[in-house]
Amino acid sequence: TEDEIILFEREMKEFWTKLKSIHGTEQINQTLALRDSCKESIKALSEKWSNKLKEGDLMIDKIEQYSHEILQQSQHISENQERLTEIISNLNQEEQQKKDLTDSIQELKEELMKKKEIISSKNKAAKERMERLCKSKLLFEERLGLEIRRIHNEQLQFVFRHIDHKDPDKPYVFTLSINEQGDYEVTSCTPPLDCIEEFQLKVRETNNFSAFVANIRKAFTALAYK
């Protein structure tokens, strides 16, 4: 170290002073040459170790710089890892929401298909009943003096005549439709009949439409001759 070198130079000076007092000029010159040689060696050694120390300091600075950069990189990696974890969590939540939405859509589709099937079945049944009513039209007109008209909202209007002998052209009318449940439903009756609800319930139970129409005509007839 530098302290050791200074101490060494001091000891050399002391040694030279003692030597000078003891020996002659020739020996002193030899000793001086030896001293100068030692000084040169010490100087070269000092410069070498001084350079080594500077290189060591530079190496320490670089190591500290690299350590600082590594620490920053570690912080960046940690931050990116946290962001990645948050993104993955959000993606998982979105995936679950997407799955829940897909399941809900599928349930709605299945429910809609069931409703469509039910509606289709009811429409088919209503259509078949309306067709049977239309096929019975001529029979009712011939035997019961009945006129059947198709009016708005897919309803049928039944007009009876020749009931009141005093006024054969007087109309007795009731209107019939098929409700959402696929059942017969009387929506109007002129003149009103107290027994119309009873007839309506009976035709729903028996599905005997001819008897239903005949019973209404009988009720109109009974009302006309009260």
Q: Name the fold adopted by 145-225.
A: Copper Amine Oxidase; Chain A, domain 1 (3.30.457)
Confidence (pLDDT) at 40? 82
CA pair distance 105, 86, nearest whole angstrom: 28
Query: What pLDDT score does 69 carry?
Result: 85
* pLDDT beneath 50: ranges in the chain: none
Specify the pLDDT at position 202.
96
* pLDDT score recorded for residue 82: 86
Q: Check residue 157 and give its pLDDT.
A: 95
8 neighbors 41 (Cβ within 8 angstroms)? no
The amino acid present at 158, given as its one-letter code, is: F
Rounded Cα distance, 109 and 50, in Å: 86
Burial class of residue 177 in the structure, from the number of CB atoms within 10 Å of its CB (0-12 exposed, 13-18 middle, 19+ buried): middle
pLDDT, tens digit (0-9, with 9 covering 90-100), for 15-38: 877 777 776 566 666 766 777 777
- Which pLDDT does position 201 carry in this prediction? 95
pLDDT on residue 127: 72
Query: pLDDT tens-digit profile of 96-131?
Result: 988 888 888 898 888 888 888 876 776 677 677 667
Compute the Cα dihedral for 171, 177, 183, 187 and give only its sign. Answer: negative
pLDDT of residue 32: 67
pLDDT at site 71? 84
Instruction: Name beta bridge partners: 155.
Output: 151
